[in-house]
């Protein structure tokens, strides 16, 4: 698999405890919206059992000039080092990997169901699908504990608001999310029914923590959605 030198341009907080990292896109690097890469630290001051790299989805779209990944900052050596890197630091990018990408069929509605950091490949795919100018309906169910935990929420709300075929259903699961006017609680059959006329028609993209993916896959199975209409990607390690 190809490997590229990339240089950190900047980092930005995109939710509580969550950073986005931006890199110039190498001229010969090509990827599809939804794919991931392995980002590897070079000679880090500390390491751990998982090694110096992690698989991270590209949250940027292929059309954007920069590559962007985003991650919850937790206590692994990789993330401690990553979060303190100075602009200009060189890393190694390997990939792209994965077939969690938009289907070739331009007609079937697309439904994305994710939560928290699982939004990374969905940001890429949703913005790509919006810019493709296709007629299909796009729905994103996006679950978080609180609005401040939801990376890219405002950006995606704005992108969707300007487009009649796009609906973003953000839902907050914390018992108290003061001032939140939208949906509350986990995505369930009743919530899907409020926004979908025909639950069996769309292609579904489920990704994020393995427990969320398993719960949503089971829900769609109970609703009779054909397995070939469901694509999943588990963020192992969450």
Q: Least separation, in Å, of the C-beta of 55 and ligand FAD?
A: 4
Cβ proximity of 202 and 139 under 8 Å = yes
Residues forming contacts to ligand FAD in the complex (CB under 6 A) are: 36, 48, 50, 54-57, 69, 71-72, 74, 76, 78-79, 98, 117, 120, 233, 235-238
- Using CA atoms, how far apart are residues 58 and 61, in angstroms rounded to an integer? 8
Nearer to ligand FAD, 68 or 130 (CB): 68
Q: Which is nearer to ligand FAD, 116 or 196 (CB)?
A: 116
- Token duo for residue 58: 């590209």
User: Closest-CB residue for ligand FAD?
Assistant: 237
> Mind giving me the DSSP string for 30-68?
---TT-EEEEEESS-S---TT-SEEEEE--S-TTSSEEE
Q: Cβ of residue 19: shortest distance to ligand FAD, in angstroms?
A: 9
Q: Kindly state the smallest distance separating residue 233's Cβ from ligand FAD, in Å.
A: 5
Please identify, using beta-carbon distances, which residue of 117 and 177 lies nearer to ligand FAD: 117
Query: 60 or 191: whose CB is closer to ligand FAD?
Result: 60
Instruction: Select from 148, 153, 145, 156 the least CA-distant residue to 209.
Output: 145
CB of 106 to ligand FAD, least distance (A): 25
CB of 223 to ligand FAD, least distance (A): 25
Bridge pairing between strands 66-72 and 53-57: unpaired
- Distance, CA of 36 to CA of 104 (rounded, Å): 19
- Closer to ligand FAD at the Cβ: 27 or 236? 236
Contacts of 210 (CB under 8 A, 6+ apart): 234, 235, 236, 238
């Amino acid at each position: 698999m190809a490997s590229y030198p990339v240089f950190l341009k900047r980092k930005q907080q995109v939710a509580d405890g969550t950073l986005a990292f931006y890199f110039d896109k190498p001229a010969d690097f090509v990827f599809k919206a939804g794919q991931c890469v392995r980002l590897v630290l070079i000679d880090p001051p500390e390491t751990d059992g998982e090694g110096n790299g992690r698989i991270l989805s590209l949250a940027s779209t292929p059309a954007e000039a920069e590559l962007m990944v985003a991650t919850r900052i937790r206590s692994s050596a990789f993330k401690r080092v990553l979060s303190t890197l100075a602009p200009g630091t060189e890393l190694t990018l390997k990939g792209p990997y994965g077939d969690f990408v938009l289907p070739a069929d331009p007609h079937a509605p697309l439904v994305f169901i994710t939560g928290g950091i699982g939004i990374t490949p969905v940001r890429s795919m949703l913005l790509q699908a919006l810019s493709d100018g296709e007629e299909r309906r796009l729905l994103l169910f996006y679950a978080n504990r609180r609005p401040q935990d939801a990376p890219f929420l405002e950006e995606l709300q704005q992108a969707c608001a300007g487009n009649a075929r796009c609906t973003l259903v953000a839902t907050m699961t914390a018992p108290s999310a003061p001032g939140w006017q939208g949906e509350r609680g986990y995505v369930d059959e009743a919530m899907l029914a409020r926004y979908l006329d025909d639950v069996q028609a769309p292609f579904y993209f489920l990704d994020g923590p393995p427990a969320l993916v398993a719960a949503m896959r089971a829900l769609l199975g109970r609703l009779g959605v054909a397995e070939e209409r469901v694509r999943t990607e588990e963020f192992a390690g969450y």
